[in-house]
Structure 1
Amino acid sequence: MLLLQCIINYFQVHYYSFFKVHQRFPEHITSNTNMVETIKNLPELLKNTLVDSKIKSVEIKRLTAPGENYGSLMLKLDVTLKSNSGHEEKLQLVAKKIPVDELFKTSFNIQVTFKNEVAMYETVVPILQNFQRENGVQEVINCFPKYYGSRINLNNSDVVDENAILILENLVASGYKNIDRTVGFNLDSIKLILKDLAELHAVPIALKLKKPNSFEPLKKHCHDFEFSAELHQMFWETTREIIKENEHCAKLLDKINLITEVDRPKVKEPFATLVHYDLWCNNSMQKFSHDVAVQNKFLDFQFLAYGSPASDLFFLLWTSVQLEVLENYFEDLLVHYHNHFIKTLKTLGCDTKPFCYEHFLYEIKEQCVFEVGHTLHFIFFVVNGKKDRTEDIKFPDDIDKIKNEVTLRAKQQVWLMLQDCEKRGWLYESKN
């Protein structure tokens, strides 16, 4: 019964978002705009912004925005401020609240995940930025939406309730957008994103090495969520059938099979750092100039964890980058990430010998024990999941329906991933 509940929770977190929620909220469509929403004690939430201003008017709408976490209630929040001198300013914000549905509250473990995401913006980001400034860095890490305020309740308890809220910059209003998940990032976009990701991973490592007493408290905000390998079994037979469609990959099944039978590797030093653990194209947004990505923001830190940077990197590349880019530039992208990772550590005065490229590749190899199985299922059944679904999907009855919807691009992406991992020695022989 426990395993069944774990499986249900896992698919509610990821797969359910695409298989069912799109029935109500198609991608990029604003919905429920006529429903009345209120936010209690809004001036208190925005107190750091209301230094010499007062709130003149507030407009709140429900929305489904690019980059949204479907396990939350997202509100478009437009606030007009009026200063003491009479000057008016409009703040375009997004308010993130806990899901209304009790099932989602349980599935997303809001008592942990909501607190962790609030802590990321309220505590972790300022500490990382201040650490960089202390070390003479002028352009500190800035791959996050601007934070305006948050709370977990109105009664000063430790319980997340219906008054919990996180208020951030409205990235859409600031000119950011998601790319199409079924297309993926082009070369220029992913290089921009990897530069930010390398910094996001390296700055906490530098803080850990140089100021361990400042870093250690941050770990309490990390979400210790581990996917049991058993969760993959629901889709494993379908996955095997798809893999066997490729003659070369069919020969690798024994190695891939082991991957579905292991848990996520234990955290190891020195690479252990703060990681996103759900980093794919829908959890980042970019601003474009003449069709070229010029700025990037990462979103949805509810699974913030203390783990391997290789986990984020592998998952992001294989779930979210165009097939042609992976075919021709995968090694270049690894080098690009690592170069910026090392550059960041050097800027912060760290010894980079333990983080050499050889050790970095071995770190990726160790994570592949879990990440290959995790990633291939995500590619098949989430990234390339059917858009704008109008009917419910029931597991496991509709597995064949889902299999028939797996696109050729998704298959080719997984086949390429498996062959590349085999070539690099990142797949492991089965011990069965």
Structure 2
Amino acid sequence: MSEQTGPLTEIRNFTEFLEQHLNRKVLEYSLKALTKPGDNFGAVVQSVDVKVAGNDLSDEPEHLHVVVKTPVTSPYLAELFKPAISFVKEVRFYSDIIPAVKQFEQTTNVPEDERLDAFIQSLGWRISLDPSAQSADSDAVLLLENVKLQNFANGDKSIGFGRDEAMATLKALAKFHALCIAMRRLQPELFNTKVNPYLLPLDATTKNDKQFESIYRELRLLDGLSPEMRNKIENVTRNGKEYNEILTRAPDSPYTTVVHKDLWINNIMTKRDATPTKVKIYDFQSFYFESFMHDLIFFLFTSVQNSDLKSNFKSLIDHYLAEFRKTMDFFKCPLDDYTSEKMWSEIRDKAHILLFRLLIRAKVTKANHDSTPQLHEVNKRNSPMERPASKVVLDQWKFIIDMFIENAFI
């Protein structure tokens, strides 16, 4: 009999699923929450402790430790994250895109120690108990390796990564972006059959414009901005909101690649006791086809400590660009489009698109950090987007906007 604990009380046919993908007889299993409340909204994530029979009759039972993801079921989160589609996208990332990257590295003779190792291993999946289903339902399951057992850990989103973790993440990100571009150029059939079919963006239509109108009003509370700059920032954020609601994929360019879209500290684990620091990236529910700039700038402004970002902004980006060019050069891809000047130009031309998303993420992430009694009572009654922007949120907005102005992004 299986013992089940935590918020997920039932996964239908789960014993059969585990036995199929672990290739072992399951004696019992237990489930418990793996993430803290507020750390993951797009799926239910739990650790699974599985007791399995030994390989031979005389062997003692073994305990295996894995991770299971299932779709969110609440109406509000289902409308927001569209699990029927997003869960399938994540499955396809593990079933098709990661194997395509590995195949490309193997056929192009990338040395073993230079191959990308930034993804968690998938152990199996299903999108439904109905084998003919094309969209995910409440019986969808994704089984993953539990890398916490290898000393990978999440960073503290209230603080952000330091320079070492940021550099390690940027190296992995640059390699992934460049590998996908090189695959598109050198092995287009592989790219078009295993990657391209899954690159349409999700419907990102905003359902409650009143919440976002409050952001435009609250931006006027920031000190030290001229009326002209306030108007410019408001126009930039409105245009960014409209851009992120467009449902078409970006046109091909030298800089378009597979981007994670939600690459921030909550979707990254690092292993600091390794030399160099190792990285695992996960939660591929929203990936699509866009400029590398989207992942790069979003990661830096959501995941790196402000002090490190302020002191090392240019060197962090230059580190990413150097790793990107190194990968492209290995495949003998022409580097004419990938000079530092041209890639910085791509960033400066398009970074303004992300300002709106960065302000939203900052408000959600920092919403609980003001502990004044008055705001505490308001916060208990409202979602992060409905809460008044606290001083902590406004300070973070000011930091982001000042960095954008300083680096000619707006």
Q: 2:257: which partner in 1?
A: 273
Shift of 1:349: 3.0
Identity score, percent: 25
1:245-324 to structure 2, matched below 5 A, reads: 245=223, 247-248=224-225, 252-262=229-239, 263-264=242-243, 266-289=250-273, 294-324=277-307
Gaps of at least 5 residues in structure 2 are: 245-249
| 8 Å contact from structure 1 (residues 274, 307) kept in 2 | yes
Q: Is the 8 A contact 1:49 1:148 kept in 2?
A: yes
Q: Which moved more, 1:61-70 or 1:95-104?
A: 61-70
The 2-side partners of 1:130 and 1:66 are apart by 37
- Tell me how many residue pairs correspond in the alignment: 385
> After superposition, what is the alpha-carbon deviation per residue over 1:300-351, rounded to whole angstroms, capped at 9, x for unaligned?
1100101111011011101111111111110101110001111111223322
Query: Which residue type is aligned with residue 354 of structure 1?
Result: D
The one-character-per-residue Cα deviations of 1:255-289 (angstroms, maximum 9, x if unpaired) are 22221232438444011110001111111111222
1:185-220: CA deviations, max 9, x gaps? 111110011001101211111110001121123122
In the TM superposition, 1:84-163 aligns within 5 A as 84-85=55-56, 86=59, 88-137=61-110, 138-139=112-113, 140-156=115-131, 157-163=133-139
1:219 is matched with which residue?
196
Partner of 1:393: 382
Cα shift readout 1:139-159 (whole Å, capped 9, x = no counterpart)? 321211111110000111223
1:188 to 158, 164, 175: 164
SS of the equivalent of 1:406 reads helix
Note if 1:33 corresponds to 2:6.
yes
Answer yes or no: is the 8 Å Cα contact 2:367–2:390 preserved in 1. no
Higher RCO, 1 vs 2 (CA within 8 Å, ≥6 residues apart) = 1
CA gap 1:135/1:65 in 2 versus in 1, 3 angstroms:
farther
Distance 1:46 1:370 in 2: 46
Residues 373-412 of structure 1: CA deviation (Å, up to 9, x unaligned): 3213322x0232216977131698x54xx31253475245
Paired residues of 1:318 and 1:413 also in contact (CA < 8 A) = no
Shift of 1:358: 1.6
Alpha-carbon distance between aligned partners in 2 of 1:242 and 1:267, rounded to the nearest angstrom: 38
CA gap 1:255/1:316 in 2 versus in 1, 3 angstroms:
same
Q: Which runs of 4+ in 1 moved over 6 A?
A: none
Q: Distance in 1 between matches of 2:60 and 2:186?
A: 45
Residue equivalent to 2:405: 419
Contact 1:132 1:348 survives alignment (8 Å):
no
CA change 1:416–1:107 in 2 (3 A) is same
Classify the secondary structure of the residue corresponding to 1:47: helix
Which amino acid is 2:161 matched to? F
CA contact (8 A) 2:5 2:31 kept: no
Corresponding position of 2:389: 403
The question of whether the paired residues in 2 share the 8 Å contact of 1:189 and 1:293 is answered with: no
- Aligned residue for 2:26, secondary structure, equals strand
The CA distance in 2 between the partners of 1:40 and 1:276, in whole Å, is: 31
Q: 1:343 to 1:356 in 2, by over 3 A?
A: same
- Aligned with 1:148: secondary structure? strand
Q: Give the partner amino acid of 2:20.
A: K
Partner of 1:334: 317
Match of 1:4 in 2: none
Q: Distance in 1 between matches of 2:140 and 2:124?
A: 11
Contact persistence 2:265–2:299 (CA under 8 A): yes
User: Contact between 1:67 and 1:284, CA under 8 Å: does it hold in 2?
Assistant: no
- CA drift of 1:66 comes to 8.8
